[in-house]
Structure 1
Amino acid sequence: MRQLLYFISLSIILVQAASCKKSGCTDPNASNYNSKAKKDNGSCTYEATYSIPTSYTFTNASGQSTVDYSGQTDRINQLIELVTYAELGESQAISAQVLNDMFANTNGNGNGHFSFNSTRNLKDKCFSLDTATITNQFQAIQTASNFYLNIASNGQAGTLSSGTSTYLFAANGFQYSELIEKSIMGAVFQYQALNIYLGSANMNADNTTPVSGQTYTTMEHYWDEAFGYFSAPINFPTSSAVAFWGKYCNSQNAAINSNQVMMSNFLKGRAAISNKVIADRDVAIIEIKNMWEKIAAYQAMHYLTQAAGYYGTDQAKYLHVLSEAYGFIYTLRFAPVETRKLSTTEVDNLLAQFNGNLWSLNVTDINNIKATLDSNY
């Protein structure tokens, strides 16, 4: 009887083992079809049955372009000119009112401070809770610029130079031109791209009928607008004409393969939308959201590493790269809740470790901040 039970048990184990070995993809149409598999385990993957272009160029059956992100292009150019004005504080007093006019695009031309006219503006696309933060930064850089002739020190706003570069620092050591740039990159570009245009509401928009008078569907257009905020040319990364997020994506490419991940998924997702393959679009969305956040984190760690090297040897560069690092950590707040690695509270805790005064930080502080980022990314 014991022998019989033994052989029965052994037979069951062998059958189970054989069964495990024979599970896999059983669909002959799948790219990973396993002819030896007897049980499908849900692992089947499929090659795209539609064409994915090598540049961000999409047309309809008549050969007309279906791409439009002109609003994003206008806002990118507005931020370029706004930051250029903010950097004038290194050599002259500047006005918070001018920055506010540029942010809101008063009178369609930044109240005369933009080189072009547009009906778009940065302010109305800004995450509402951060509008006050950014306008406060405008006031802070105005205050600092009044002391551009002074040498910056702890408690004293002014400028410091390193080589041919000069930087304006507030009394707390922050370079507000960098904080302004990164805050808008996060609260406008990143927030709009990832949370609004690639968010569930917009990605449930109509994808059947072209918008009246246009060549694209609403869903196609929303995807294009997300790509526009990425700030990269249509043939990225072949072209080096990058700005803002495209620039920093390229900067971190060697470390995290960000160029290929971002561009291939923007192309794949748009092609999937046009061909009504929503499952592929959804995969691309997750890849884009994860990598966008990772770019910010890695750029912050890059600047923190530089700061540790500049500590005690180059105060101008030290405060400059710490301001950059702070700015990129700030942008982590705008990673979508469903994919983010750090909560808003955790990001705020990291920012608090800068003590509100960059003059007070040391290498241990810097390494502690970097270690937290490194452990999460």
Structure 2
Amino acid sequence: MRNKLYAVVLLLGATATISSCTDDDAGTPVKPYTVPTTYSFANANYTKSTQRVKMLLELDTYLKTANAGLTTVPLDQAKVTNMWANTNNPFADASLNTSGINLKDLTSDATLYKLHADSVLIYNTGTPAVQGTGGFLPRNTGKIIVGPRGLEYGQTFLKGTMGGFLFKEAVKLLTAVKSISATDTTAAQKSWDEAFGYLAVPANYDSSLTYANTDPNRPLHWGGYLRERGRTIQAGGIIFGAFLKGRAAIGGYDVNVRNAQVDIILAKWEQLAAAAALAYVTIPTESASIGNPATQLHALSEGFGFVKALKYRPANSKLSAANFAILEGIMNKDFYALTGQAGFTDLKQAQNILKTTYGL
């Protein structure tokens, strides 16, 4: 109920002023503070995380040029490697080239996901794909590039990096905030802002809007999925609202509220990953998708990345280690075998774990 009431306040464009006389951290009194409706804090700085989000966007956009039409569009391996490591000025946005940061250093399982990016080039040969042979499959007006087991490597790279980099870093940063003293607002704000940047939404984000792909301030990556797969669980409003409230609470030395917002953000972000994973392990089993391997393999490849994201879930996650191992084991199977399995036994098991664990 508290979250719903807060969402109403945000929709009305109001701000909330909170005051308390309780001591939340070793006798530190809580100061009155105001929760804004936009991420408009005077000293907010999330430039580095925003730059990394933009790097990922440029690399993903480049890899996707292989999917245009049925004609083979050659890609440059050196360019992909340079964009991954930020070497030799590979980005169209010149500020990224001089930022001093890159994608590879903060990505867990970096070798795996770089291999997936490289595999787009390896199988971009103009060869029709069948089980055991990588190549292309027509999809809509273009095509997808898949490996011998049916993984669409562009999708597994992007979604895997969203989990092994953006989500993982946000979990690490926000978890660490809970251990920072109430009076060390500089350290807490720095980590909080960086985590907010990995959500990749504009400062004036509105969860009720459908942002156009041409909007330069549109949500990216996880931010886009707040609406695409998180609408039914109100992920956008809840996560953004908690980021606002927690950041304001830091300035007021209110560690109880700050820490509560950490828990809200991480639980809802994890549920968002699970909701996306559920959608993508369900699509291949639907009647409209059966017999359409491009649709099935594309969906499973997205599901692969979102399941992998759950590897980096917070310590208090509802997902048990045993159930995660089952999910990961299913997504590591040959996708042609999964989509050809009678009754979709494995995918139905994955659906059941995600539904029951996350209340979806």
Structure 1 and Structure 2 fold alike (TM over 0.5): yes
CA distance in 1, matches of 2:48, 2:189: 15
Distance 1:323 1:208, change over 3 A: closer
Q: Does residue 169 of the first structure (1) align with residue 152 of the second (2)? A: no
The aligned counterpart of 1:198 is 174
Q: CA RMSD in A?
A: 2.5
Over the matched positions of the two proteins, sequence identity in percent amounts to 29
Paired residue for 1:54, among 15, 32, 37? Answer: 37
Can you list the C-alpha shifts for 1:226-245, whole angstroms capped at 9, x where unaligned? 10001111111256311111
Measure the CA separation in 1 of the matches of 2:141 and 2:120: 21
| Alignment of 1:101 onto 2:82 | yes
Q: Tell me the residue number matched to 1:316.
A: 294
Q: Which of 313, 317, 322 does residue 335 from structure 1 map onto?
A: 313
Structure 2 residue matching 1:119: 3-state secondary structure:
coil
Q: CA deviation at 1:250?
A: 1.6
Amino acid at match of 2:300: L
Letter matched to residue 157 of structure 1: G
Match for 2:311: what amino acid? R
Q: Is the 8 A contact 1:198 1:223 kept in 2?
A: yes
1:358 matched to 2:341? The reply is no
C-alpha deviation, 1:97, in angstroms: 4.1
Instruction: Write the deviation string for residues 14-44 of structure 1: whole angstroms up to 9, x where unpaired.
Output: xxxxxxxxxxxxxxxx99xxxxxxxxxxxxx
Q: Which amino acid aligns with 2:284?
A: A
- Aligned to 2:116, the other structure's residue is in SS state helix
Matches within 5 A, 1:119-198: 119-127=100-108, 130-145=109-124, 147=125, 149-195=126-172, 197-198=173-174
Measure how far apart 1:194 and its partner are: 1.0
Scaled by the length of structure 2, the TM-score of the pair is 0.80
For this pair of structures, how many residues does the alignment match? 312
Partner residue of 1:70? Answer: 47
Residue 367 (1) aligns with residue 348 (2): yes
Aligned to 2:13: none
Q: Structure 1 residues 69 and 251 mapped into 2: Cα distance closer, same or farther (>3 Å)?
A: same
Q: CA offset at residue 203 of structure 1?
A: 4.7
SS in 1 for 2:35: coil
TM-score (norm 1): 0.77
Q: Following the alignment from structure 1 to structure 2, what is the Cα–Cα distance between the partners of residues 364 and 311?
A: 16
Encode CA deviations 1:62-83: one digit per residue, 9 max, x unaligned.
xxxx111010111111000111
Evaluate the alpha carbon distance shift between residue 345 and residue 266 of structure 1 in structure 2; reply closer, same or farther with a 3 A threshold: same
CA deviations over 1:105-131 (Å, ceiling 9, x no partner): 114x3xx3544222221112223xx12
Q: Any gaps of 5 or more consecutive residues in structure 1?
A: 1-29, 32-47, 60-65, 210-216
1:188-225 alpha-carbon deviations (Å, 9 max, x no partner): 11111111x1123675168457xxxxxxx222121111
**What is the CA distance between 1:143 and its match in structure 2?**
1.7
1:318, distance to aligned residue in structure 2 (A): 1.0
What CA deviation, in whole Å up to 9, does each residue of 1:254-313 have, x standing for no partner? Answer: 321111210110000000001111110000000001001000000111122222124433
The amino acid that maps onto 2:36 is P
**Partners of 2:117 and 2:279 in 1: CA distance:** 26
Which residue type is aligned with residue 82 of structure 2? D
Structure 2 residue runs of 5 or longer lacking an equivalent are 1-18, 21-30, 212-217
After superposing the two structures, state which structure 1 stretch, 285-294 or 84-93, moved more.
84-93
Q: Tell me the equivalent position of 2:280.
A: 303
Amino acid at match of 1:230: L
Q: Which moved more, 1:230-239 or 1:367-376?
A: 230-239
The answer for the alignment partner of 1:27 in structure 2 is: none
* 8 Å contact from structure 1 (residues 300, 325) kept in 2: yes
Which of 307, 321, 326 pairs up with 2:304? Answer: 326
* 1:84 alignment partner in structure 2: 61
Which structure has more relative contact order (CA 8 Å, sep 6+)? It is 2
Contact 2:33/2:251 (8 A) holds in 1: no
